[in-house]
């Protein structure tokens, strides 16, 4: 799925930074999720997309990186909500749960959906405040 999405996004004009893996062997997804999240956190990348088996573990890992708001999306509605309401900057997808056509729909929707701001800005600020308290506490 990753290679298919890379081709789709490249043909749409997006610049791709591939953080791996290129192997069909079992790997530790937290290593790759962290690499993507750190690209977004450091503003080396505008947004990040992570593909693993279910999308759950990568989402959990990415959300540990300062400044990252990762969302595991499984349909059009969750893609819209994660961007409009939560200003998600990392998308995780479960290749074992989604077909290619649905994955493309989710990615396209997620990339094109703008953050709504307004009352959602206040809520995102509160999310980030929780993160900052954890960072200051050394957690």
Q: List residues with catalytic annotation.
A: 85
CA–CA distance, 95 with 92 (Å, rounded to integer): 10
At residue 126, the 3 state secondary structure works out as: helix
DSSP letters, 36-66, are HHHHHHTTSSS-EEEEESSSHHHHHHHTTST
* Polymer length in residues for the chain: 139
For residue 126, count other CB atoms closer than 10 A to its CB.
Answer: 10
């Amino acid at each position: 799925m990753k290679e298919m999405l890379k081709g789709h996004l490249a043909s749409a004009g997006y610049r791709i930074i591939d953080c791996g893996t290129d192997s069909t062997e079992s790997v530790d997804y937290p290593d790759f999720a962290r690499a993507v999240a750190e690209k977004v956190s450091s503003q080396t990348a505008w947004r990040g997309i992570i593909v693993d088996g279910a999308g759950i573990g990568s989402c959990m890992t990415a959300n540990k990186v300062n400044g990252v708001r990762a969302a595991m999306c499984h349909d059009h509605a969750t893609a819209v909500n994660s961007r409009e309401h939560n200003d998600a900057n990392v998308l995780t997808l479960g290749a074992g749960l989604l077909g290619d056509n649905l994955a493309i729909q989710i990615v396209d929707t997620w990339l094109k959906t703008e953050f709504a701001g307004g009352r959602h800005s206040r809520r995102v600020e509160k999310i980030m405040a929780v993160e900052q308290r954890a960072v200051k506490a050394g957690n």
